[in-house]
Structure 1
Amino acid sequence: MANLKVAIIGCGSIAQNRHLMEYEANDQVEIIAVCDIVEERAMVTAEAFGARSYTNYEDLLQKEDVDAVSVCLPNYLHAPVSIAALNAGAHVLCEKPMATSREEAEEMIAAAERNDKKLMIAHNQRFVASHEKARQLIESGEVGKVYSFRTTFGHGGPEGWSADGTDSWFFKKDQAFIGAMGDLGVHKADLLRYLLGEEFVNVAGFIENNAKEGISVDDNAVCILRTESGVIGTLTASWAYKPEEDNSTIIYGEKATLRLEDDAVHSLVAQYATGEIVKYELGQIQSNEEGGQTNTHVIDHFVDCVLNNKQPLIDGHEGKRSLEVILAALESGETRKISKLEK
């Protein structure tokens, strides 16, 4: 089978620690081009991976014959660059959140369908072993009726690992549009939709900037969510958790409570109403603290979908629904009213 020719647009931290390394580790992929507006960053990356370097993504798309593109850019560029790549005939793996509005997300989906190309959003939490196992336990009925949940994703903030440190685009509203909720909260919104197997209909959000000075986006957020069937719970996203990050989820059900990534050794602990406790050692979740050297399985899944014409687990429609939860939380935070999600 011919190798997949890939370009990475944006050579910052997520590209360096995830996309480039995981593409390189996949023997069905050839990285042929990289792009970054910082010329030196593009050139150094290109040299490291034996690729050609560009500072303008339009030049890259025009001059290179690429099969697939990873979009690893500030949030406000996700939609325009993804659409340009799709229109140029490339499959697209876009970082999260997929866009800055529902309209942008719809335009991305339309571009993928119009060009008959794959569009996948890089929500890596679905591929975590403990999360996959929890979904199976819920789906099989072993947990019984799910009543409630709490999920948290927090760390010290992007300045610790972003390519531009304290000057990172993550902190600038005109480039990021949203802070911790877009960086971390959207991952958990996607995970909960995946675990529970249903959509959220109501969101109440308290979205604050109370920890970091001089930034124009949120750094602490707590949301209350309600699903179609009445499952309720909380989602927390924070850039103010020190010294360690928290990436845990707890599902409270009729027959069992599932604790995911809440124990240092056991990535899933199932506590049954009968008193039985089952502890699973499934390998730890990827962490920014470890330098992010573990495989997220996102790239391998995307490559497999492109080469074998499969539907990505997180396609444009899935990415849009997870984005809409975050947009609803933002709206609630601004209006101080409960947001209703459209079907």
Structure 2
Amino acid sequence: MATGAESGRRLRVGLLGTGGVASKYAALYGEYPRSLLVALHDPFDPGAGELAARFGGRVAASVEDLIASDIDAVVISTPNPLHLAQASAALKAGRHVLLQKPMTVTLAQAEELERVAEDSGKVLALYMNSLDNPVFRDLRRMITEGVLGKVGSINCKLANGMGHVWRNRPANFWRGSRAAVGGGSFAMLACHYLNLAQWLLDQPIIRTTAIGTNLMCDHIEGDDLMSAIVEFAGGELGVIEAAWCVKGEQMSLHGSAGSFAYIDNSVVTMKADSPFIGEAIRYETPGTRVVLDGLLAPAMSDWTNPYNQHRCFVDAMLDGTPVPMPAGKGVQDMRVLDAAYRSSAGAVHVAVHVAIHVADDGAVAEAVA
């Protein structure tokens, strides 16, 4: 039987959800020579018709109409609470599915969806845009080849400050609902780095303790700031933080022979005992700390990037090869999220006692006992 590469066949794709960054996915599926955009549906996006006119396909009247189209796969970029029902319907109809993170709202839903995929015989994959970036590909090589020595810790922070923007959104805005999101900032943002950290180290997270709070965004439910300490199966430790109330993004790793940091998807700073030549990173001065600027993440619509996860999904479906991020990895991410939220809600936190001293002149001073 001829593979997709041999036959010239194109993967026929339907998009559920076209607003925001999902519009970039329409561009990729419409322009990549191995895919064909057949149908789009988003009842809340008035721009769906324009995307169809630019990149091909028709605007489907409903979710059911899109799934019933002559397509091979459905790409789902809809709100979290819709993932289980929409992905299940597509799989049961014989369509492969590429699903936006997080996989579902709860761990139980993720496990149910994985069972549906197994029963259907179709592929359920998770879209994680971090894997588009050759910087992270290089970093994984560094870890595998021992350039940084034995990695002992990894620290990740993803914060975008959108909680303040949402102050003017309607009260029923889904991202402000704890039940719809599955938590708060940690569920929506930390899932990127939970997934990436486990992929980089090739180790699952096995234990966590976390603290979450709503510090500045009382107009939304759930946490607007949350930090988790995690332990990997190999013994490595990490800190993963997410926030709606402050801004900034960075990831750093520290090993016995070097350290690496990637800041705001642009700047790398590293020092190692060995040289390294990768696709994005050239480190040729061992023992010296260097700063490499301008290492921007590739555009999500860039189908010429061989690591683009949408392109990789298309290629895997046509060529019969494994997808980069299978459903089981998404379930593992949900296990970590579930454990972190249970820890935050019910863990034993040891308070630091602060002694209050009042001087003769009435001045008050605090001292940690």
Query: Shared fold by TM > 0.5?
Result: yes
2:66 is aligned to: 60
* Percent identity for Structure 1 against Structure 2: 25
Calculate the TM-score normalised by the size of structure 1: 0.86
Deviations 1:2-40 (A, max 9, x none): 221111111221311x32122223121111111123374
Alignment of 1:132-211 (within 5 A): 132-157=137-162, 166-167=169-170, 168-211=173-216
Quote the residue 1:79 is aligned against.
Answer: 84
Deviations along 1:136-173, one digit per CA (max 9) or x if unpaired, are: 1111122221111211111121776x9x9834422122
Q: CA 1:174/1:59 → structure 2, altered by over 3 Å: closer, same or farther?
A: farther
User: Partner of 1:303 in structure 2?
Assistant: 314
- Matched letter for residue 169 of structure 2: T
Q: Residues 270 and 78 of structure 1: is their aligned pair in 2 closer, same or farther, counting only changes over 3 Å?
A: farther
Which is higher, the Rg of structure 1 or of structure 2?
A: 2
Query: Given the superposition, is the C-alpha separation of residues 44 and 127 from structure 1 closer, same or farther in structure 2, using an over 3 Å criterion?
Result: closer
Q: 1:171 to 1:44 in 2, by over 3 A?
A: farther
SS of corresponding position for 2:75: strand
SS at 1:13 equivalent? coil
Q: 1:336 aligns with which of 332, 342, 347?
A: 347
Structure 2 Cα separation of the partners of residues 118 and 213 of structure 1? 40
Residues 154-199 of structure 1, C-alpha deviations (whole Å, 9 max, x = no match): 1121776x9x983442212232222211221000000110111111
In structure 2, the partner of 1:277 is 289
**Is residue 6–residue 66 contact of structure 1 (8 Å, CA) maintained in 2?**
yes
Is residue 261 of structure 1 aligned with residue 263 of structure 2? yes
Aligned residue identity for 2:16: I
Q: Secondary structure at the residue paired with 2:169?
A: helix
Looking at structure 2, the residues matched to 138 and 280 of structure 1 have their Cα atoms a distance apart, in angstroms, of 19
Match of 1:341 in 2: none
User: Which residue does 2:36 correspond to in 1?
Assistant: 30
2:10 aligned residue: 3
Give the 5 Å matches for 1:9-20. 9-16=16-23, 18-20=24-26
Aligned residues: 326
- Displacement of 1:75 after TM fit? 0.6
Distance 1:319 1:39 in 2: 27
**Deviation at residue 105 of structure 1 after TM alignment:** 1.6
1:321 maps to 2:328: no
C-alpha deviation, 1:133, in angstroms? 0.9
**CA–CA distance in structure 2, aligned partners of residues 179 and 328 of structure 1:** 14
**Quick check: 210-219 or 249-258, which moved more?**
210-219
Q: Cα offset for 1:228?
A: 2.0
CA contact (8 A) 1:170 1:176 kept: yes
Q: Report the CA distance shift for 1:39/1:192 in structure 2 as closer, same or farther (over 3 A).
A: closer
In the alignment, the residues of structure 2 paired with residue 92 and residue 44 of structure 1 have an alpha-carbon distance, to the nearest angstrom, of 24
The corresponding residue for 1:226 is 231
Shift of 1:275: 2.7
1:105-124 paired onto structure 2 within 5 Å: 105-124=110-129
Letter of the 2:211 partner, please give it.
F
Q: Is the 8 A contact 2:99 2:126 kept in 1?
A: yes
Question: Alpha carbons of 1:42 and 1:55: their partners in 2 closer, same or farther (altered >3 Å)?
Answer: farther
Gaps of 5+ in 2: 1-7, 275-285, 350-369
Greater CA drift, 254-263 or 190-199: 254-263
The Cα RMSD (Å) is: 2.6
TM-score, normalised via structure 2 length: 0.80
Question: Structure 1 174/53 Cα, relative in aligned 2: closer, same or farther at 3 Å?
Answer: farther
Letter in structure 1 aligned against 2:271: A
2:24 aligned with 1:21: no
Give yes or no for contact 2:253–2:259 (8 Å, CA) kept in 1. yes
Say which SS state the counterpart of residue 218 (structure 1) adopts: coil
User: How far does residue 45 in structure 1 lie from its aligned partner after superposition?
Assistant: 3.7
